Chain A
Amino acid sequence: MPTLPEYSLAGKVAVLYTAGGDEAPVLAQALAESGAAVFTIARRQELLEPVLAGLKQYPGEHGGIAADVGSGSSTELGKAMDALGASYDHVDILVNDVRSMFAQPLSEISIEEWDQIQSRNVRAAFVLCKELGGRMRERQYGRIVNLVSLLAERGMVNGSAFAASQAAVLSLTRSLAVELGTSNIRVNALGTGWMTVEDIPLEVQQEELLVRYTPLRRKGHPRDIGPLLVYLASESCDYTTGQAVYVDGGLNAHP
């Protein structure tokens, strides 16, 4: 089938950070299938294992480590960077999947929980953008994609702490795009709506109110966002920067 070679990630080194959730394995596979070598930094060991298991079927040198880089501990970041440096001498692509979800009533959210959500989602994205963005700047090339929820733009009951973290990452995206633009580094956000990694039949999905509320009448699967992730991570994404592109089944246009 004819395809544009511009989308290929062959020869590129991608770092994927996952703060939580269960979508990272599919996202890692999208990058690997498009030719990238993928090094995964997972906040917990349990998040890392399915990613590495899923990458076994793809050629290329893939790896990863569990490190809580958002914790603020320089040991955790140093551990991740050492492991990265042992296998790769540079990084072309950074993907931050910083959508570790949390929803509680305002009165129930402890300061510890608030700090934890901001750390794993926002501080981790900042720390990795700072560390790897600096390396990209030295090589005058880079692509950074931050995965955020549509709650970066909208409000939701019980969503305060999580939504604030998503808006912070979107804002980080805009400023870094402007600051790193002349270094040939592009920084964009990929926004998502209601997601599932399970292949649930449509008629079963549509028993759920949130699915009937979504204009395309189904939940998103990480497969739905893989191709856009690949485009935003590719060299051909050269004039788009500082933007959020949503793949959310039409939710963003919903009144």
Chain B
Amino acid sequence: MLETFSLDGKVVLITGGGTGLGLAMVRALARAGANIALAGRRAAPIEGAAQEVVDLGREALVVTTDVTDSKQVDQLVTTTLDRFGHIDVLINNAGAVQENVRKPLWDITDDEWNLVMNVNLSGAFFCARAVSKPMSDRGKGKIINVASGFGMRAGRDIYMYCCSKGGMIQLTKVLSFNLARYGITANSIVPGFIPTTSTDSEIRSTLPRSGDFLPTGNLGTPEDLGPIAVFLASEASDYMTGEMIIADGGGLAAGITPTGHAPVVALEL
């Protein structure tokens, strides 16, 4: 049973794997046996992550890539195929959170809207499109999209992030439905709020500082996503497609009352 979770010798391509949630997933994937191609806009974080992969005895490839540029994405996939021969798993993790700063709707510029939609949603589409043909030629492949609880619910003064992440959940369903016939599955990981360096420095006052608002009473950690990413990347999830795994401390299951509100109503006669 537990061996079905192994990624021994599998090739995983992950975007934005140098920091935050992506880095935690990279560490878990490498521990489970995967060789990893890391793509990111900045070289330093993915080079650091690649070194950790190598230190765990796996192979790593670093390709600086801006996922909003489909030519760079196509080149990323070509470079990965040249190095490893095939791609078993794509993880669309690159995301722009820095635009997620509170701002009234009337102050949001076209450029701000386009940047987040391009990084989060178009970037994921470009990557999925680029791997789809080589994966279908092999008759197997797995695509994992990292969405967000904000793709399921609204956030105060958060427009582009909510819309782009909702789009990723829907992209997952459409990919799963259309690529099933080629042996390719697609699933989403939907994290709730998990503090990272990125959210700490950029989102500031818009997100909670503690887990008091959550049913579990605790905030998640990036490490919570490791076993989920490994499961979705492994053959343990072969019959699962078009789905999502939500890791949010119970937030989405609740939400009709403030946390801690516990009404008591006697049975009517």
Seen from chain A, the residues whose Cβ lies within 8 Å of a Cβ on chain B are 1-4, 6-8, 30, 33-34, 173-175, 177-179, 181-182, 184, 186, 215-218, 220-221, 224-228, 230-231, 234, 236-243, 245-250, 252-255
Contacts and interface: CB of A to CB of B under 8 A. Distances in A.
A247 B239 contact: yes
Contacts of A184: 216
A240 B248 contact: yes
A225 B4 CA distance: 12
Nearest to B220: A239
Nearest to A229: B1
Contacts of B41: none
Contacts of B97: none
Interface string B226-269: 11101100101111111111111110111000000010000000
Interface residues of B, number: 54
28 contacts: A2-B31, A3-B6, A4-B32, A6-B226, A175-B253, A177-B254, A178-B254, A181-B249, A182-B216, A215-B181, A215-B241, A215-B242, A227-B5, A230-B2, A231-B228, A231-B236, A239-B192, A239-B216, A239-B224, A240-B248, A241-B215, A243-B245, A247-B239, A249-B239, A250-B180, A253-B176, A253-B242, A254-B177
A238 B228 CA distance: 11
A240 B8 contact: no
B173 interface: yes
Contact of B252 (A220, A227, A242): A242
B238 A224 contact: yes
A242 B253 contact: yes
Contact of B250 (A7, A178, A237): A178
A220 B254 CA distance: 30
A250 B243 CA distance: 7
A181 B250 contact: yes
A255 B32 CA distance: 35
Nearest to A237: B227
